Amino acid sequence: MRKQFLSPKLHLSSLPTPLEALKNLQAELGLELYIKRDDLTSVGGGGNKVRKLEFLLADALACGARTLLTIGALQSNHCRQTALLGAKLNLEVHLVLMGEMPDSRQGNLFLDHLAGAHIHFTGKERGEGQAYLERLFEESKQKGLEPYVIPYGGSNELGVQGYIAAWLELEEQAKEKGLEFDFVVLPASSGGTIAGILIGQALTGSHTTSIGISVGPSKGELEREIIELAQRTIKKLNIQVPIPDFWLLDEFIGPGYGILDQETQEAIKVMARKEGLLLDPVYTGKAFKGLLALARRKEIKGRMLFWHTGGIPGLYAYASIF
């Protein structure tokens, strides 16, 4: 499918990312299971946000930005990728991180520092962080720093397009291999990744059911956000497609966002020990825990795709818990 209807993007990562069979897990679990390796987007330490940032940063440069401002959790992958890609583009990067400065810099926080980002720690509440970000934007503007704000998770009408393009990429790869998936399973937090996949599916007339595994927000709240985000993106692109039905599950969050439970540890170990692949505790570990549970309960069957969205640097911040 032609992609000319999408907004301009930078080509920062070498795409496509691989589509692979998980052969050992297939044998062990009796599932037909594949993985899309977006942990291998080739810049910024890898992960899903690179695809979103290719669109967002094209807009930032077109607007004449010299400074990037964004917001996230202490171990935000989105902030780490923004810090590294901003560095590559010679842009100053300010990260508003929600939480207290920890005693030592681990995982993504270490990489933010390595990339030379300016880090602002705020209160834990999203509202507090957002208010701080808005103040920082005004101050930066007054200082003539030409700031550009990238929203939480890179999820707006531009960021979402990264995953419309990703779905089109996957469809081409799947067609070459003669594959059609019954289900695609992925983590969901700010909702932009799954929103893009849903639009891509509508555009290609796909019969695959998307399953978003929430890693924090409640089902009602996140479902609403995903649909609104997809609608806003469809409007911006001036296309007419219905948003396909999807599943959004919040039963695998466990004790809370970023809190590692026993089942998530098991899911991460299974992937490492059977396939030699790394998952992270906050996003992909929880999504894979969800996939395993749904398959064991026979709520999903057929040919499945697990979309690996990256996040591996965060794993190292949790080493002492395993």
Ligand X SMILES: Cc1ncc(COP(=O)(O)O)c(C=O)c1O
Number of C-alpha atoms within 13 angstroms, CB side, residue 65? 23
Alpha helices in the chain (DSSP H): 23-29, 49-62, 77-88, 107-114, 126-142, 159-177, 192-204, 219-237, 262-275, 284-296
Which among 4-12, 189-197, 233-241, 247-255 is the span making contact with ligand X, rule CB under 6 A? 189-197
Q: Is 197 helix (H, G, I), strand (E, B) or coil?
A: helix
Contacts of 291 (CB under 8 A, 6+ apart): 185, 211, 213, 300, 304, 306
Q: Report the catalytic residues.
A: 76
Binding residues for ligand X restricted to 299-318, rule: CB under 6 A: 309-311
Give 117 or 140: the residue with its C-beta nearer to ligand X.
Answer: 117
Contact pick of 44, 45, 46, 47 for ligand X (by CB under 6 A):
47
Q: Is 12 helix (H, G, I), strand (E, B) or coil?
A: coil
Q: Is 86 in the site for ligand X (CB under 6 A)?
A: no
Binding residues for ligand X restricted to 231-260, rule: CB under 6 A: none
Give 73 or 91: the residue with its C-beta nearer to ligand X.
Answer: 73
Q: Is 283 in the site for ligand X (CB under 6 A)?
A: yes
Binding mask 26-45 for ligand X (x = CB under 6 A): --------------------
Binding mask 191-210 for ligand X (x = CB under 6 A): xxx-----------------
Q: State the chain's maximal CA–CA distance in angstroms.
A: 60
Q: Which of 288, 285, 287, 273 is nearest to 312 (CA)?
A: 285
Contact pick of 48, 82, 208, 210 for ligand X (by CB under 6 A):
48
Structure tokens at 210: 């998307």
Q: Is 189 in the site for ligand X (CB under 6 A)?
A: yes
Q: Is 188 in the site for ligand X (CB under 6 A)?
A: yes
CA distance 97 to 117: 11
Q: Is 51 in the site for ligand X (CB under 6 A)?
A: no
Structure tokens at 245: 């039905």
- Considering the complex, what minimum distance in angstroms separates the CB of residue 145 from ligand X? 26
Binding site for ligand X (CB under 6 A): 47-48, 77-78, 153, 155, 187-193, 280, 283-284, 309-311
